[in-house]
Chains A and B, each alone.
Chain A
Amino acid sequence: MGVQLTGLLEPKKIDFKTLSGKRIAVDAYNALYQFLSIIRQPTGEPLMDRRGNVTSHLSGLLYRNANLLEHGILPAYVFDGKPPSFKKSVVEGRIEVRKKSEEKWKEALARGDMEEARVYAQGASKITGSMLEDAKKLLGLMGIPVVQAPSEGEAQAAHMTLENSVWATASQDYDSLLFGAPRLVRNITITGKRKLPRKNIYVTIAPELLDTTMLTSLNLTRKQLVDLSILVGTDYNPKGVSGLGPKKAYKLIIEKGGIAQAIKEGVLESFDYEGIERFFLEPPVTDDYKLDWHLPDEAGTVDFLCGERDFSPERVKNALERVKSGIEKGRSQFSLDTWF
């Protein structure tokens, strides 16, 4: 999901070292979906405990955060609040896609076609209320801050970046740039080797950085980027304006300056875009959040993951050690930024 700007914005490959000592606001839903679609059994089914509770996302949260913290990166997870009313049709569309994927997954399983099964199982990923509760509970036990956004998580994460509470947002989607984030990092929760769907090819995924210097070099303002994205299609108008891909839309925005001008000059047919534009430029956000990293509640985490969710105690304890030393290290070192 999210706006498709690939081909226009070229992310820069970075090293985890670049992110060391930095606070990052992670788009929680985005990360949980990534975990849920990647961390699967060979049949395509998510990991589950004995009672059938999905645990793929918990596994992702535990080991990936241990990994980030070990690199000196301090993640905070930002959860979505109420989506804007105009997102409703998109959300409904997604439910439809998910249902279809689920049917195809079951068919493929019945045929014994494991390759297809895995592909459709990923499309069938969904995050339920109890999975969200589990995720928040685990983050709390691990000492990682959870932020509740009034509306879109990416908008709140962008706001926190603008306020200098964190260094960057983290998401696979580019939307936080539209919401004003000066920096966006991708792939930090999914680095490593990944198998391409339907192919026996593995690719290595490395962290990437997108920042506002990229907009400057494209001669785009944030508002123009928002307009460009609306033309290409966003979560709130997935189809965009027909016939306009990122390159053509970019040319139009550069030539005309924005959607309003393009419509006025008759180059673009009038359409309803102002609401979406305003939402990207002035999304609902809150200053009511606290970013404190605590040492993990080790016994509590073991009780929850091993006692209730059937994780292996040895692996959990090992990951918790990494979480603990990462948080200890990360929160005890100041950066020079305060003194400039």
Chain B
Amino acid sequence: MQLKSTQIEQLTKVFETIVNLVDEVTLKVEPEGISIRAMDPAHVALVDFEMKKEAFDEYKLEEPVELTVDLKTVVNVLKRVEQELVIKLKEGENVLVILSEGAVKKRFNIPLIESAEESLKIPGIEFETVVELDSSLFKNAIADTSIIGDYATVKVEGDALFFSSKSDENVVEIRIDKENCISFKKNDAKSHFSLEYLKDMAKVADIKTLNKAKLSLGNDLPLRLEFEGDYTRLLFFLAPRVEAD
């Protein structure tokens, strides 16, 4: 196996988001691309990440492999990679090799961990409310609401999407009208979510290629949040909170 990429920033940012949820992940490397599916220990959030082989400059694979790693270490290593990233496996050993090619050549060996998690399914929910918007609008709405409270109420009412939060006497409401969204499949929906999780998820908006956010909502249902780029897809499910009052 040998994977090469010069789009290091994107991969690093995606992994940085996932590391907020889980310490260990299993990276699947398959003929069509790489993927990660993981859930945080409290089972509040699930992440499903796919990057197609076309996103890589070189994608050489003899047979599909599953690599379980300490993600924190991988993120720290990726941050030190310059110019070109090369990922391969050490022959006959359970070691992942990450190379940084450029003027200075760096080599990191990271031991693989025995995987404990059984494979995860995706929640099977039919959503009747789906709103697509610029991911920067979503990110800003989360940033605005987290100034005030610990959780956000996300709702679709009439022809607008609302984010709101409150604590004591402080209230914030963000309204994004249908005209400012990319698509808007409406049906009134309202759920509450922890901003601690939403803030981490919103960081994905910084990845240039993932500029669209698709929110699927229901009444007291999980949030399905999808970011999609040309060869990359990052999908989150976030369990709702019970309304505090």
Give A contacts to B, CB under 8 Å.
15, 17-22, 72, 213, 328, 331-340
Contacts and interface: CB of A to CB of B under 8 A. Distances in A.
B164 to A, nearest CB: 17
B194 A333 contact: yes
Given A17-B41, A19-B41, A334 B244 contact: no
8 contacts: A21-B41, A331-B242, A333-B241, A334-B222, A334-B239, A334-B241, A339-B125, A340-B121
Contact of B239 (A20, A22, A335): A335
Nearest to A12: B116
Contacts of B222: 334, 336, 339
Given A17-B41, A18-B41, A340 B124 contact: yes
Given A340-B121, A340-B123, A340-B124, A335 B242 contact: no
Interface stretch (B43-51, B96-104, B133-141, B208-216): B43-51
Interface string B117-128: 000010111000
B124 A333 contact: no
A21 B123 contact: no
Interface of A is mostly: helix
Interface string B31-59: 00000000101111110000000000000
Given A340-B121, A340-B123, A340-B124, A335 B241 contact: no
B44 A335 contact: yes
Nearest to A334: B239
Contacts of B43: 21, 335-337
Contacts of B121: 340
B123 A336 contact: yes
Nearest to B122: A340
Given A331-B242, A332-B242, A334-B240, A339 B39 contact: no
A336 B44 contact: yes
B163 interface: no
Contacts of A328: 244
A334 B237 CA distance: 12
A333 B151 CA distance: 10
Nearest to A22: B42
B39 A332 contact: no
Interface residues on B, range: 20 to 34
Nearest to B193: A333
B123 A335 contact: no
A333 B222 CA distance: 11
Contacts of A334: 44, 222, 239-242
A20 B124 contact: no
Nearest to A213: B116
A183 to B, nearest CB: 13
Contacts of B123: 336, 339-340
A206 to B, nearest CB: 15
A335 B124 contact: no
B42 A21 contact: yes
A72 B221 CA distance: 21
Given A334-B239, A336-B123, A340-B121, 11 more contacts: A20-B41, A20-B42, A21-B44, A72-B42, A333-B42, A333-B242, A334-B44, A336-B43, A338-B239, A339-B124, A339-B222
A17 B121 CA distance: 22
Interface in B220-245: 221-222, 237, 239-242, 244
A-B CB proximity, top 3 nearest = A21-B42, A339-B123, A335-B43
Contacts of A18: 41
A328 B245 CA distance: 11
Contact of B241 (A22, A72, A332, A338): A332
A262 B194 CA distance: 56
A72 B41 CA distance: 11
A328 B244 CA distance: 8
Nearest to B194: A333
Residue in A21, A22, A333 with the greatest tally of chain B CB atoms within 10 Å:
A333
Contacts of B42: 20-22, 72, 333, 335
Best-buried of A17, A19, A335 by chain B (most CB within 10 Å): A335
Contacts of B221: 339
Contacts of A336: 39, 43-46, 123, 222, 237, 239
A216 to B, nearest CB: 12
A331 B244 CA distance: 10
Given A339-B123, A339-B222, A333 B41 contact: no
Nearest to A19: B41
Nearest to A337: B43
A340 B43 CA distance: 11
Contacts of A335: 42-44, 239
A336 B43 CA distance: 6
Nearest to A338: B239
A333 B241 CA distance: 4
A154 B44 CA distance: 28
A340 B237 CA distance: 11
